Amino acid sequence: MRIQDTKTGKLVEFKPINEGEIGMYVCGPTVYDLGHLGHGRSAVSFDLMRRYFMYKGYKVKFVSNYTDIDDKMINRAKEKGITVEQLANEIIPEYIKDYTALGVLTPDVSPKATDKDSIAEMIKIIEKLEKKGHTYVLDDGVYFDVKTFKEYGEFSRQKLEDLKVGARIDVKEDKKNPYDFVLWKFKKDGEPAWASPWGEGRPGWHIECSAMSFVHLGEKFDIHGGGLDLVFPHHECEVAQSLCAFGPDAFAKYWMHNGFINIDNEKMSKSLGNFFTLRNVFEKYDPKVVRFMFLQTHYRNPINFSFDLLEQSKAGLERIRNFVRGLKVGYEDLSKNTDEIPAVKITVDAEHEKKGFEQYMDNDFDVSGALGVVFDLLKTVNGLRDAKKLTQKDIGQAEKFLKDVDKVLGVIFEEQKDLDDEIKALIKQREEARKSKDFAMSDKIRDELKAKGIELDDTPNGTIWKRI
């Protein structure tokens, strides 16, 4: 299995630190507002990886944090007239709701930056850095001196002299170097603060993830992930402070990053007015359609979002789901054909199909190629059906393959509740009306079922239903 490692910039063979086990840490959101498409894309990308590792038999410990203290949190809490803690408690459940709707598995651990053990570990790491001569103190906090880590900039492949101050690099004239970053910010009036050897204050952004990953995964773990926008400065700074604190062989073995969400070929941004929250999109589209849209593009490539793209994804997912709904409909008599079919013919073999699926997924999670295997299966089954050569064994193998790969994809099989007796009776009445060619009654019952949230689709092989 090969993955793209951001640290080396190469496609490398994946070998976990401990055989059969994988530790993953993914940078989560800053919880000052509802999640947007970019958050959803990252969550789905790493959920796909986690699911595939589990599918392959690995025991995965998946950690994804919440940043619940920073300038944005403080400013938004002031705007709303509530505490930062209250804001976090208000927003975190909304992320959980949206991610659950997207089919994202719940992390094994979801630490917050303000957790007691998180803060304690941050202070320990800063103390280690201080003892090794990597820090200095200014009037507003404790800073990391990047000149003490000669490899600074190598992770993101940048030269210090080319780095631009501003944007995500704090501007402060009395820093030793413009790109030095704060580890501990001293307390300001009205801001949350914790006791430390340097005085009351709060952590800087970068120190949070180094501490939380250490607490829950140890000094060395397999994969650290996040959005492409985090490569610099966030992950560059994480690498610097972590290696300086724990040693050159510590921290993440592999680094992985998902691509941006663009809107009409421009990066999604509130300032550009092209910003969509997940909740905005869910108002118009099934969250699983949104997940399918994310899956159709390789995780490292940008997605040029549009509602046309969502419509295409909706149609593609519906094609697969309709196939599943109709897989067993009207095929009861096909088992009679088993002995009549020539010995040499196309058949459906779940294990063969799985090998094709895995070949793509083992190549840096090429899910778009893996989905091609799924659609090829649909063509094969439909071709056999049209030729009257589809057997019950083929149907069983197709269903087995789809159920196996949906443990990874998480979009094919819907959670369908059993129909109540009244609905079942109406569907049966409609079938009888169609057989007797009472089309007026058939249409009437169809409309009645639709009003009850059940849509029927009459196929050449029989009628299938779905909830709407």
Q: Which of 122, 124, 129, 158 is nearest to 143 (CA)?
A: 129
- Tokens for 24? 């993953």
Tell me what pLDDT residue 313 has.
Answer: 97
pLDDT above 70: residue 92: yes
How far is residue 194's CA from residue 113's CA, in Å, rounded to a whole number? 12
Tell me what pLDDT residue 329 has.
Answer: 67
Range scoring the smallest mean pLDDT among 88-92, 136-140, 233-237, 451-455 = 451-455
341 pLDDT band, cuts 50/70/90, is very low
pLDDT above 70: residue 209: yes
Q: What is the mean pLDDT of the chain?
A: 90
Q: Residues 395-403: what's their mean pLDDT?
A: 95
Q: Residues 339-359: what's their mean pLDDT?
A: 78
Give the rounded percent of residues in the chain with a pLDDT score beyond 70: 90
pLDDT above 90: residue 466: no
Judged by phi (left if over 0) then psi (alpha if -120 to 50, else beta), residue 282 lies in alpha
242 pLDDT band, cuts 50/70/90, is very high
Residues 222, 24 contacting (CB under 8 angstroms) = yes
Q: Residues 236-244: what's their mean pLDDT?
A: 98
Q: Residues 89-95: what's their mean pLDDT?
A: 97
The helix/strand/coil state of 245 is: helix
pLDDT above 70: residue 192: yes
163 pLDDT band, cuts 50/70/90, is low
pLDDT above 60: residue 300: yes
pLDDT above 70: residue 114: yes
Give the rounded percent of residues in the chain with a pLDDT score beyond 90: 74
Tell me what pLDDT residue 418 has.
Answer: 58
Tell me what pLDDT residue 261 has.
Answer: 93
pLDDT above 80: residue 147: yes
The helix/strand/coil state of 62 is: strand
List pLDDT tens digits, range 424-442. Answer: 788 778 878 777 888 888 8
pLDDT above 80: residue 204: yes
Range scoring the smallest mean pLDDT among 192-201, 263-272, 361-370 = 263-272
Higher pLDDT, 468 or 80: 80
List pLDDT tens digits, range 29-42. Answer: 999 999 999 999 99
CA angle 146, 158, 69 (to 5 degrees): 55
